[in-house]
Amino acid sequence: MAPIAVGDVIPDGTLAFLDNDNKPQSVSIHSLAKGKKVIIFGVPGAFTPTCSLKHVPGFIERAEELKGKGVDEIICISVNDPFVMKSWANTFPENKHVTFLADGSAKYTHDLGLELDLSDKGLGIRSKRFALLVEDLKVKVANIESGGEFTVSSAEEIIKAL
């Protein structure tokens, strides 16, 4: 499957999260993105060094600026379960705007064409690192990394595109 690209409509898909009572919930990506300007960024794994020290903090630190440029939602997706994603989100107490969603079986990642096979490292199927700028379900910017790189999918690169 070809990776999601500029001009494509994002596929709908269901992702998971834990609510305030720690009960598993699900949400449709289209319900979060329809009629809105959203950033969807994906990381290979929760609690991994680049994701935890660079990628996520960049979006948290620049969230107000992104909101000021018209972004309605900032969504972080990882191939992890919702329990891991909530625990990871809790390590960023300063976060007010980034929503952490779980793609436990990598189904949505597959639908985006952004799987990264890290089986040789014992990590299984994960997500490529990416950042999408989506307006009313249509991809306006698709910054997709090669392998484990972190060069084009940062908050700074999305801000340049706004």
List the catalytic residue out of 4, 51, 85, 155. 51
Q: Please name the residues in contact with 3: beta carbons below 8 A apart, sequence gap of 6 or more.
A: 112, 113, 114, 128, 142, 144
Instruction: Please name which of 70, 125, 120, 123 lies closest in space to residue 103, comparing C-alpha atoms.
Output: 125
Q: Does the annotation count 76 as an active-site position?
A: no
User: For residue 121, what are its two tokens?
Assistant: 């490292």
CA 66, 67, 68, 71 torsion-angle sign = positive
H helices present in the chain, as ranges: 29-33, 49-50, 56-61, 63-68, 82-89, 107-112, 155-161
Cβ atoms within 10 Å of 105's Cβ, excluding its own: 12
Give the active site residues: 51
